[in-house]
Amino acid sequence: MKILENGPKGVKLLKPKVFKDNRGYFYESLNIKDLCKILKKKITIKQSNVSFSKKNVFRGFHFQTDPFAQDKFVRVLSGKILDILVLIDKKSKYYLKCFYYELSDNNKKMLYVPSNFAHGFLVLSKYATIEYFVTNYYSKKHERNINIFDKRLNIDKKIISKKLVMSSKDMTSNFL
């Protein structure tokens, strides 16, 4: 696995080494030892989640507060998404700034998302299946979300002008 881009505040855009031959391809999707070496810190994966969504579905922006804050390791199993991160560290000059990454089954890019970011994604293909590994267990009590239409975010107008498909939870905000 190699780093394609060092993003803000610990975000890493990664790509696995892909072995191709006449049968297809093979790659290690997650190797904790290698990931810890790349991140220069020890992490423990506690949960794996898979999400299937249709075109124009927006899921997010989600995060959890301490002591259940989660780092995430995101990859696309099928389809294409625009992964959007929002920095939620109030001490940072980039507070509430958005960062965009296109992930797909074709480009095989993966994203490491530290717990100081809210995470969301927009499905760009007809369908998309996303897998993400997290470093802490889900806690409803510690779950928070930010509405994509929150004016403080300055989301790209091309995104919010689309007819987004969202859950009622994602249309609310419980972020202070």
Give the residue numbers marked as catalytic.
62, 132
Q: Is the peptide bond before 19 cis (omega within 30 degrees of 0)?
A: no
In a 3-state reduction of DSSP, which class is residue 105? coil
Expressed in angstroms, the distance from the first to the final Cα of the chain is 37
**Does residue 43 contact residue 10 with C-beta atoms inside 8 Å?**
no
Contacts of 73 (CB under 8 A, 6+ apart): 30, 35, 45, 110, 111, 112, 113, 132, 133, 134
Contacts of 32 (CB under 8 A, 6+ apart): 43, 44, 45
